[in-house]
A = this chain, B = another copy of it.
Amino acid sequence: VGSSRIVLDITTSLDGYVAGPNQTLEEPLGAGGERLHDWMTRLASFKSRHGQEGGEVDGESEAHEAFLARVGAYVMGRRMFSGGEGPWADDPKSSGWWGEDPPFGAPVFVVTHQAREALELEGTTFTFVTEGVESAVAQARDAADGKDVAVIGGANIADECLRAGLLDELRIHVAPILLGGGARLFEGVPPGTWRFTSVRDSPYAVHFELEPVRTAQ
């Protein structure tokens, strides 16, 4: 258990948004937000997990594949899971966005205020955690069985993990777009010092990885 790393993996626009303005059920990533993930949706490593043929195989897909292979469990927020809020009975996407065959292939822990039994779909079990993000990360760490835990959004969940000092690694993908508004990453997180461990780029995104500089007291 001790060797699992807790990793934030998230894509932002150049102006720091992980979703555009006006998120709706029709546009869950807000106005213009779909383009955040153009770097990823073109890749074979993405398409194969979403039941699509083809896609590019290159250094970017290899890095994406290598990261996914490290992950034993995921943590996400309620809005990333379904786009909804409030009671599950009123949530049109209460089984998530991904249909019967979600792309995770690993346990997913969804942080929510609305208690609910776990949802088992093909290859992925969603567990709903009402005790907050620290509990979700702890449960994910147990479930990951020595592999890493990926925290994948949204902005609130990411920022709560940063505030709680839970993250061993940041993987920030910066897309070359300005969204002009929406859900901003890094709101109200405390000061901290990190170091770059890797930087890669493509025409579609700059990917940087960082780890915290933890000074001995």
Contacts and interface: CB of A to CB of B under 8 A. Distances in A.
Interface stretch (A73-81, A83-91, A200-208): A200-208
Contact of A195 (B162, B176, B179, B208): B176
Contact of A176 (B162, B174, B193): B193
Given A180-B191, A206-B206, A196 B201 contact: yes
A178 B186 CA distance: 9
Measured as residues with beta carbon below 8 angstroms from the partner, the interface class of chain A is 20 to 34
Interface string A185-217: 110111111111001010100101010000000
Interface of A: 14-16, 20, 31-32, 35, 162, 170, 172, 174, 176-181, 185-186, 188-196, 199, 201, 203, 206, 208, 210
Contacts of A172: 14
B191 A177 contact: yes
Contacts of A176: 193-196, 210
